[in-house]
Structure 1
Amino acid sequence: MNNQNENSRTDEALVERVLNGDTNAFRTIMNNTEGLVAQIIFKMVADGEDRRDLAQDVYLKVFKKLSGFRFNSKLSTWVGQIAYNTCLNYLQKKRLVLVDENDFDGFNQLYSDEAESLVLTKELSQVLRIEIDKLSPLYRTLITLYHNEDLSYSMIAQITELPEGTVKNYLFRARKVLRDKLLHIYNKEVSR
């Protein structure tokens, strides 16, 4: 609890400094949150140009909305929420799918010879990263926030504005899709 109070005071001091015109304080906020923002954007958006534009857009929104931040959550969580919502808006404008309904039906896609050779030449961790990148944007983001960023269900729920139970459910489904894909690849290799 003491660490949480310390983080809150640090967040308040940073926000106050930014609102008083201290550009270095805003740079500190950016440095403290850039990993989280990058993870969200990279897992939700495929296009490199759009990723850069979205990152700039996120921090522009953070700067403009900073005076309205009420410290109901950590500053980094609030910035992550802005990044997530910015990506959602991007996906909606581009009419891209956030959750692929086919993921719910389990894995039934056949892999090409290219994927088979990939399994032969790459380590499991590389295959796993590739399979994560094939997930729908929401599943990729949730897996990354939970497993790479070590965020709690509660923090992910705050960022995504999804109920905590939904976050747990989607994470379960995403892991199941990954497991099914990896088992399919493994079984193809064993049967060779």
Structure 2
Amino acid sequence: MTDDKTLVSRVLQGDMQAFRLLIGQHERLVAHMIGRLVKNNEEREELCQDVFLKVYEKLSDFSFQSKLSTWVATIAYRHAINWMRKRKMPMTDLAEEDHFKAAFVEEENPESLLSDQDMNGFVMTLVDALPPQYKTILTLYHVDAMSYDEIGQVTGLPEGTVKSYLFRARNLLKEKVKKCIGKEELL
């Protein structure tokens, strides 16, 4: 794995192999960022490509004030949010927990959900039903192992808000799991 400064320098010098390496190192992160907000496969793929084009275009502006991965994640997050806004997709008010509740078909039997998928898949289904900002923050923290500060840089939110949203997202998730499977000891 090449260090970020060397990699960026090589890309800026026109080394396309270095850019491929940069994409390879960050494609999972970008896919997570976009995938948490955009459900259509073709649109996700196009948005991911757009993100890496923006990264390439703006790389000369990157000043190493943060980690390269944080900067790339910021571009991906903002690109997905802007895409959602342009399409007038609902960016629910985070105080409204009804969005989370409405995302589930109550007639579904939780036992059948669990038998059809493993527990991770079940939890990710619940995570996908969270409002976009909650889902993004929860994923960045638990899946991508970003710090509060890094999440704040990506989302543009103050650290206290990041902590608050993470707390709310975990509680929403915990309550839904309890309700669906009736076992408090899981969480």
Normalising by the residue count of structure 2, what TM-score does the alignment of the two structures yield? 0.87
**How far 1:93 sits from its partner (Å)?**
0.6
CA gap of 1:10–1:164, structure 2 versus 1, over 3 A, is same
Q: Which has the higher helix share?
A: 1
Contact 1:41 1:54 in 2 (8 A): yes
CA gap of 1:107–1:16, structure 2 versus 1, over 3 A, is closer
Superposition map of 1:1-192 within 5 A: 10-101=3-94, 103-104=96-97, 109=102, 111-119=105-113, 121=115, 122-187=117-182
- Paired residues in the alignment total 181
Structure of greater Rg? 1
CA gap of 1:180–1:14, structure 2 versus 1, over 3 A, is same
The residue type paired with residue 177 of structure 2 is L
**How far 1:186 sits from its partner (Å)?**
2.1
**How far 1:173 sits from its partner (Å)?**
0.8
Gaps spanning 5+ residues in structure 2: where? Answer: none
**How far 1:143 sits from its partner (Å)?**
1.1
Separation of aligned partners in 1, 2:19 and 2:86: 29
* Percent of pairs with identical residues: 43
**How far 1:66 sits from its partner (Å)?**
0.7
Separation of aligned partners in 1, 2:130 and 2:143: 16
Higher relative contact order structure (alpha carbons within 8 Å, sequence separation ≥ 6): 1
The residue type paired with residue 135 of structure 1 is L
**How far 1:38 sits from its partner (Å)?**
0.8
Contact 2:30 2:73 in 1 (8 A): yes
Contact 2:29 2:144 in 1 (8 A): yes
CA gap of 1:90–1:26, structure 2 versus 1, over 3 A, is same
Separation of aligned partners in 1, 2:150 and 2:16: 27
Q: Aligned with 1:89: secondary structure?
A: helix
Q: Aligned with 1:113: secondary structure?
A: coil
Normalising by the residue count of structure 1, what TM-score does the alignment of the two structures yield? 0.84
**How far 1:78 sits from its partner (Å)?**
0.6
